[in-house]
Amino acid sequence: MFGIGTLINTLAIIIGGLFGSIVSKVLNEGQRESLIKACGISVLFIAIAGAMEGMLKIEEGSVMSGQSMLVVLCLAIGTLIGELIGIENYFIRFGEWLKRESGNSKDQAFVGGFVNASLTVCIGAMAIVGAIQDGILSDYSTLAVKSVLDFIIIAIMTTGLGKGCIFSAIPVFFFEGGITLLAKLISPLLNALSLSYLSLIGSILIFCVGINLLEQRKIRVANMLPAVIIAVIVAYLPF
């Protein structure tokens, strides 16, 4: 049985998406474009805050940076694996299928909205830690907090990118629900160090989503997802 936290998070995304869809009808194209930019900037700063928390520390009154090699190692190996597998293509194919089956075949922004929104709400330590807490302790407080954030983000993204963002509730439901079901098996693998690394790399991937929202360039973020798994593995290496 999926946890209450997963259900709350899924409903928050659906309701936020529906709210954004309604609001989008009263906005013109320029206003929707501005909201996309605003969402992109917001995602960037959320990601920067998470990444800096993992890379910066204060020693003797001075700010020191670290984990540069970790970032390079995880992103390089993870992206290579993702490119070889073609993870983003699977996301796109699923998005295309949802587009057809949901009657939104004429919506050109549907797939892009679905992929960007899914990556934004799925990547990160809150989804994993919250789902594990829900599965082992029946504590859904972390996912409840995440639900509020996701409601706001998806509402804004749907306003600018369309109905595809609403369907990000599907991967969130299965991702968080699956982790909740497997919580007792997964929790021993996530110590404090691995969670710290996971949060750092996840934040960098969310930063890449923000860049895509700002349309600076097209980064295949889904193909970078294995970097998160590499980050957890690195935490257990004896050096």
CA distances from 225 to 17, 160, 229 (A): 24, 25, 8
pLDDT of 40 reads: 85
CA distances from 95 to 102, 112, 123, 165 (A): 10, 8, 18, 10
Domain limits, the chain: 4-234
Rounded to whole angstroms, the Cα distance separating 203 from 53 reads 10
pLDDT of 196 reads: 85
Which of 68-72, 107-111, 216-220 comes out lowest in average pLDDT?
216-220
pTM: 0.83
At residue 2, does pLDDT exceed 70?
no
pLDDT of 34 reads: 86
Q: Cβ neighbours of residue 233 under 8 Å, at least 6 residues apart?
A: none
Contact 114, 168 (CB under 8 A): yes
pLDDT of 10 reads: 95
The pLDDT tens digits of the residues spanning 145-168 come to 999 989 998 998 899 888 999 999
The pLDDT tens digits of the residues spanning 16-26 come to 999 999 988 88
At residue 176, does pLDDT exceed 80?
yes
